[in-house]
Amino acid sequence: MKPPYILDTNSIRVLSNYYAAQFPTFWSKFDAEVGAQRIVSVREVLKELEDFKSNWIYQKAKGMKSAFLAPSGQQAAFVANLLSQKKYQAMVARKNLLQGKPVADPFLVAAGFELGGSVVTEEKRKKNAVKIPNVCDHFNIRVVNVEQMLIDFGWSF
């Protein structure tokens, strides 16, 4: 099995612009890749999507709960180790901690590391920042955006 693409919340929000009624072929292909576990995400992303309950993509995501993976023991240990290092603690915004909001970023990196997959995010690398692409680079995890994922699948509509 080929390594999966692991979607960040912001990439799922980009996909929400491909309305199901107007892009049925896209969603048919997408759903097939989800079914084959070539497109997945992490449970925390589904929790983050709850902030967008009024968007149709949240309802679609809820219907694909099996695509939102719970962290394995190895991933949990990876996240614990990652966040024990001061330089990576900024991945968890203090505001989110205080408000009890979900935080997917470290779990996306952990899933990419364990599964050998590509993390799909719209975040950009930023010098001296703790952005998903920067952290993934440190652990030699491939990072792409939605456009590159579509290119990798060879999809053109």
CA dist., res. 119 & res. 126, Å (int): 16
How many angstroms from the chain centroid is the CA of residue 131? 13
Q: How many domains does the chain have?
A: 1
Q: Tell me if the pTM is above 0.75.
A: yes
**Mean pLDDT taken over the chain:** 93
- Which CATH number characterizes residue 101's domain? 3.40.50.1010
In tens, the pLDDT along 71-103 reads: 999 999 999 999 999 999 888 876 666 566 789
CB atoms < 10 A from the CB of 126, how many?
Answer: 10
What does the block give as tokens for 6? 């692991």
In terms of residue numbers, what domain contains 97?
5-153
